[in-house]
Structure 1
Amino acid sequence: MSGILAGKRILVTGVLTEGSIAFHAAKVAQEEGADVVLTGFGRLTLVERIAKRLPKPVPVIELDVTNQEHLDGLADKIVEHYGDDSGIDGIVHSIAFGPQGAFNFLEASWEDVQTAVQVSAYSYKSLTTALLPLLEKRGGSVVGLTFDAQLAWPKYDWMGVAKAALESTNRYLARDLGPRNIRCNLISAGPIRSMAAKSIPGFEELADVWNHRAPIGWELSDPEPAGRGVVALLSDFFPKTTGEIVHVDGGVHMMGA
């Protein structure tokens, strides 16, 4: 099979709806020759139903990234699926969550902030290290999704801080795993009108920035460009790129006014 991911094994987290970046990353990865495994949290039947819309059938493994037992057993479940322990080639980390309290910067409790940081940032490290024995066998690429944490966005509040933690985590993970031939990079995507977006108070106000400032344009309903960016970083076309943040946001990140 041809394609830039031909013969590669890729684990994709965060597929909840057909409108998610993770879904399009999985779809494009399959189209480019990858053998994809999905993980799901909570509503596994929903993930399994959405998975049937991918070009090829995929297994869905239950994974709560805050559950150490789930993390400890993940590698074994992947080996069980493939029938051998020859490793995997890549991980897509598309996991983020903040309780409603995290979207009020001055009044958020530590419990809300802790949850946002654990799920959205620390899980990038814990998921990668859980699969480190499999990644090391082939050398690998870990790709996460962020929302530009260089700036203070309207309404985003502690989720913005959690994304800043994710971006820093990416750099330290890249530092420590580079000697093991594992690359760690992020896609900084523009806003997508997804299920996750519905949980962000004032999302439309935040997203409206893209209607006016994206020089190449941006479609809130089109996650595929970001999904393609993920697949590009999973491929061998960036063999010496690590610790990087690639913007797929219509160019908004570089506009001054």
Structure 2
Amino acid sequence: MTTHTAAPTGSLSAPLLAGKRLLVTGVVTTSSIAFHAARLAQEAGAEVVLTGFGRLSLVERIAAQLPRTAPVVELDVTDRSQLDSLADRVAEHLGDDPSLDGVVHSVAYGPPGAFDFLHGDWEDVSTAVHVSAYSLKSLTTACLPLLRRSGSSVVGLTFDARVAWPHYDWMGVAKAALESTNRYLARDLGASGVRCNLVAAGPLTSLAAKSIPGFGDLAEAWKDRAPLGWDPSDAGPAARAVVALLSDLFPSTTGEIVHVDGGLHITGA
């Protein structure tokens, strides 16, 4: 009988993304899905460029902790001028034939009012939808001049928006908008050979999670209900799904949502 040894969860085979060039947004801490996706992508052979918002020096310090230090370009996804110049600024780091094979959208934000469904005002709600959902479209179209190769892949991160979660409120609505945006992008960009998919991760202990009131209560549901179990401190499984969707392993998959949540999404009460 042959004994098979499972591959370690922290590594991927180098050829998987060999020669690919990726733009990764949302790297703020080393615990984020975006950071682990960038790390795994580099280990799998990709060249990575990061974006940063606000304190670029902080993102640059985080970038230095990757296997190979990645360049960082500034991006506020609500700033039209920055979006308009993004392709040119990213191209400066891509050599003589600037092009991208993939983009990772890991951007979300909701003001405190977005976490109060009945009393949240439109200003807070519109901010949540703009940053967390519309930005998938604006980021992708800003990168289209560089996404010239058939088989390019856009991968975003969501939190399963099919149901109403406690405490999540208007951010849940924003995630539903993100998921719909992904489907329309997949429809409109398919003819250009660009795939658009999302990874729906379970709750992870991250900087973003700290802004969600009652996050601990939300995450508690995973303890007993996820068939495979769930470690809220491990962003690795979600990051591996991101890298897989960036690769050529799913050439005919678009408009999809891949759940990486220990299987909780299939369970009932």
The TM-score range, normalised by the shorter chain, is: over 0.9
Is the deviation greater in 82-91 or in 162-171?
Answer: 82-91
1:227 corresponds to which residue?
239
Query: Which of 7, 11, 20 is the aligned partner of 1:8?
Result: 20
2-side partners of 1:41 and 1:85: how far apart?
26
Contact 1:155/1:206 (<8 A) preserved: yes
1-side partners of 2:57 and 2:104: how far apart?
20
Is the deviation greater in 77-86 or in 5-14?
Answer: 77-86
Contact 2:151/2:248 (<8 A) preserved: no
Matched, 1:180 2:200: no
Letter of the 2:120 counterpart: A
Superposition pairs of residues 24-39 of structure 1, within 5 angstroms: 24-39=36-51
2:4 corresponds to which residue?
none
2:7 corresponds to which residue?
none
Is the deviation greater in 81-90 or in 222-231?
Answer: 81-90
Is the deviation greater in 98-107 or in 70-79?
Answer: 70-79
SS of 2:130's equivalent? helix
SS of 2:92's equivalent? helix
2:182 corresponds to which residue?
170
Query: Which of 136, 159, 164 is the aligned partner of 1:147?
Result: 159
CA RMSD of aligned residues (A): 1.0
2-side partners of 1:138 and 1:52: how far apart?
31
Q: Any gaps of 5 or more consecutive residues in structure 2? A: 1-12
Query: Which of 54, 67, 86 is the aligned partner of 1:74?
Result: 86
1:114 corresponds to which residue?
126
Identity of paired residues, percent? Answer: 70
2:255 corresponds to which residue?
243
Tell me the matched-pair count. 257
SS of 1:136's equivalent? coil
1:217 corresponds to which residue?
229
2:264 corresponds to which residue?
252
**Displacement over 3 Å in runs of 4+:** none
1:87 corresponds to which residue?
99
TM-score (norm 1): 0.98
Contact 1:122/1:169 (<8 A) preserved: yes
Deviation, 1:144, is 0.1
SS of 2:155's equivalent? strand
Letter of the 2:42 counterpart: Q
Contact 2:27/2:50 (<8 A) preserved: yes
1-side partners of 2:80 and 2:159: how far apart?
26
TM-score (norm 2): 0.94
Deviation, 1:11, is 0.4
Deviation, 1:57, is 1.2
Is the deviation greater in 8-17 or in 76-85?
Answer: 76-85
1-side partners of 2:33 and 2:149: how far apart?
27
Contact 1:86/1:137 (<8 A) preserved: no
Matched, 1:132 2:144: yes
Deviation, 1:163, is 0.1
Contact 2:149/2:193 (<8 A) preserved: no
1:43 corresponds to which residue?
55
Deviation, 1:86, is 3.8
2:34 corresponds to which residue?
22
2-side partners of 1:84 and 1:164: how far apart?
39
Letter of the 1:147 counterpart: F
